[in-house]
Amino acid sequence: MKLARIGAPGAEVPALLGPDGRYRSLVGHVADIAGEALSDAALVRIAALDPEKLPVLPEGRIGPCVGAVGKFICIGLNYADHAAEAGMPIPTEPVIFMKATSAICGPNDQILIPRGSAKTDWEVELGIVIGKAGVYIEAADAMDHIAGYCVVHDLSEREFQNERGGTWDKGKGCDTFGPIGPWLVTRDEIADPRALRLWLEVDGERMQDGSTATMIFDLPTIVSYVSQFMSLQPGDVITTGTPPGVGMGRTPPRFLRGGEVVTLGIEGLGEQRQSVGRA
């Protein structure tokens, strides 16, 4: 099942992508694709609806696929070949940092390079959407806490991140630095999240082309590990790292300047397309 949120920023309505490729309104069935609507029981109720009997939504903006995100949690350096291109050792435990929830935007919304930026970079990532609350979750139970998956573009300002002191967060949480979607794809549709192809292009040039098979820490490990340090709540998003091919890893490094078009996607989870502007 593919769930989405359609409409202008702040006025998105919950939707289901029907077999005919049209978005069908879930208004009256769920308040939003958020919180308790992501529980297994709620998803079963949505799956039981007949899409043909749901109103067709007019074509319009696709919003972030999850509303009211409480925590936007990131796992860094989770692909060995990306750690190598970043000049960092392979982590012995998952690296956790946070993105500001104000960075979240729709999958096709414009990216805005922040003021003073010289090193805005791209990163395609697999996102986990939590559907069941938990803390101190065992790895064996972790998949039961996942509602589904989505594409995440974890944009990064490398100078802010690495050269301005403090933690990574200031280079990760800029406005528009967290496009998510187009869909939340429920976990029953993805047979093996460790076998998904990820890719990203800038102006049609392939920059990243990888697979989740090369993750260092798998999804049960990530969910369990994060839950040792904070409770996880329905609607929290965990983005799980990027394969190689980021701008800072190129020789010479290459960063977004404005005017480009970035496209990215993950097998089975849809695609994003963003024009790049400046704040």
d(CA 195, CA 214): 9
State in Å, rounded, how far the first CA of the chain is from the last one.
36
- pLDDT tens, residue by residue, 86-128: 787 889 999 999 999 999 999 999 999 999 999 999 999 999 9
State in words which class domain 72-278 has: alpha beta
Task: Tell me which long-range contacts 114-117 makes (C-beta under 8 A, separation of at least 24).
Answer: 114/157, 114/160, 114/174, 114/175, 114/279, 115/278, 115/279, 117/157, 117/159, 117/160, 117/174
How do the domains of the chain map onto residue ranges?
A: 2-53, 72-278
Residue 214 · residue 80 · CB < 8 Å: yes
Gap between the Cα atoms of 225 and 230, Å rounded: 9
The predicted model gives 211-236 an average pLDDT of 97
pLDDT band at 261 (very low <50, low <70, confident <90, very high): very high
Q: List, edge to edge, every strand of the sheet that includes 184-186.
A: 23-25, 13-17, 2-6, 184-186, 146-153, 124-130, 237-239, 72-76, 95-98
Asked if omega into 182 is within 30° of 0 (cis), the reply is yes
Q: What's the pLDDT score for residue 81?
A: 79
Using CA atoms of 188, 44, 101, 22 in order, give the dihedral in degrees to the nearest 10.
80
Return the sign of the alpha-carbon dihedral for residues 40, 45, 50, 52: negative
Q: How far apart are CA 75 and CA 121, in angstroms?
A: 17
Type of residue found at 22: R
Q: Max Cα separation, the chain? A: 55
What is the Cα–Cα distance from 13 to 140, expressed in whole angstroms? 35
Residues above pLDDT 90, as percent of the chain: 93
The reported pLDDT for the residue numbered 37 is 97
Model pLDDT, residue 120: 98
